[in-house]
């Protein structure tokens, strides 16, 4: 079973104070880019893997989705998602993406935001998603970028000239990465760029779009902390089709 840090009180409390937890999609700087990679939602049956508070589920329904299934490992996240949702077209259910077992040929779009890097077995995950989609169905997701993930000791360093640099090491040593992010010992799984793309193709997907989140000038002006995102990519954004 995938590690569930979201139900730890300390993690949940800190996570709930994040801009993306308070402001939803508008609080996530990569949202405009991932939104631009989505198909038109009118009439689509949608699944959201790692739905959290359900921001995307509700947005999808407001934008015409026929139905949305939100899946998450965290009871606390789902409880808050349910409390924030008054729409019979949205259903929430607990699920472990590591052992995902969703109905066959039931969805037109599978979406996921920043959840797949918690999953160890990407081949199994992509195969399950592929089966759950109808022919022509879409998978659109964000995940942590391998440049962000690779190092055993991530974090900005200062070069001799004073500029910050991001370390890359152990790039080809895939697997578990333990970091302290909001709580201690958060377990994520590093995969190379080639492994992610090849795993999608082996599952049967055609790669439609590969993007890396880079903030716009306006975003950096509004939130100067985003300046460091110019120096190294944090988020990988992928659209694939069955």
- List the end-to-end C-alpha distance of the chain, in Å, as a whole number: 27
Q: Is 82 in the site for a copy of itself (CB under 8 A)?
A: no
The only residue of 13, 23, 99, 157 in contact with a copy of itself, by rule CB under 8 A: 157
Nearer to a copy of itself, 22 or 152 (CB): 152
Of 111, 126, 233, 242, which lies in the binding site for a copy of itself, with binding defined by CB under 8 A? Answer: 233
Counting contacts by CB under 8 A, is residue 62 touching a copy of itself? no
The reply on whether position 214 binds a copy of itself by CB under 8 A is yes
Confirm or reject binding of residue 169 to a copy of itself (CB under 8 A): yes
212 belongs to the binding site for a copy of itself (CB under 8 A): yes
Site for a copy of itself in 171-210 (CB under 8 A): 171-173, 192-194, 197-198, 201, 206-207, 209-210
29 lines the binding site for a copy of itself (CB under 8 A): no
Considering the rule CB under 8 A, would residue 231 count as an interface residue with a copy of itself? yes
Q: Would you tell me the crossing angle of helices 122-132 and 193-203 to the nearest 10 degrees?
A: 40
Residue 174: C-alpha distances to residues 28, 121, 170, 186, 194 (Å):
27, 11, 8, 16, 11
121 phi, psi to nearest 5 deg: -100, 85
CB 111, CB 141: distance < 8 Å: yes
- Closer CB to a copy of itself, residue 51 or residue 150? 150
Radius of gyration of the chain, Cα coordinates, nearest whole angstrom: 18
Q: Which of 5, 41, 44, 147 binds a copy of itself (CB under 8 A)?
A: 147
Q: Do residues 178 and 189 make contact, with C-beta atoms less than 8 angstroms apart?
A: no
Phi-psi region of 182 (alpha: psi -120 to 50; beta: other; left: phi over 0): left
CA 100 to chain centre: 15
Can residue 91 be called a binding residue for a copy of itself (CB under 8 A)?
no
161 binds a copy of itself (CB under 8 A): yes
């Amino acid at each position: 079973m995938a590690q569930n840090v979201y139900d730890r009180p300390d993690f949940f409390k800190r996570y709930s104070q994040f801009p993306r937890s308070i402001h939803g999609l508008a609080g996530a700087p990569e949202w405009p880019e991932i939104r631009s990679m989505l198909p038109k939602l009118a009439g689509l049956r949608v699944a959201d893997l790692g739905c959290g508070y359900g921001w995307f589920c509700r947005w999808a329904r407001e934008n015409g989705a026929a139905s949305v299934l939100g899946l998450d490992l965290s009871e606390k996240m789902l409880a808050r998602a349910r409390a924030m949702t008054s729409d019979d077209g949205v259903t929430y259910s607990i699920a472990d993406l590591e052992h995902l077992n969703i109905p066959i040929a039931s969805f037109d779009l599978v979406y996921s935001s920043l959840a797949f890097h918690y999953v160890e077995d990407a081949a199994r995950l992509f195969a399950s998603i592929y089966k759950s989609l109808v022919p022509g169905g879409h998978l659109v997701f964000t995940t942590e970028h391998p440049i962000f993930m690779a190092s055993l000791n991530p974090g900005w360093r200062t070069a001799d000239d004073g500029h910050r640099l991001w370390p890359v090491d152990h790039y080809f040593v895939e697997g578990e990465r333990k970091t302290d992010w909001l709580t201690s010992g958060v377990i994520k799984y590093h995969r190379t760029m080639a492994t992610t793309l090849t795993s999608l193709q082996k599952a049967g997907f055609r790669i439609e779009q590969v993007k890396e989140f880079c903030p716009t000038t306006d975003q950096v002006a509004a939130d100067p902390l985003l300046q460091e995102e110019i120096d190294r990519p944090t988020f990988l954004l992928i659209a694939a089709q069955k």
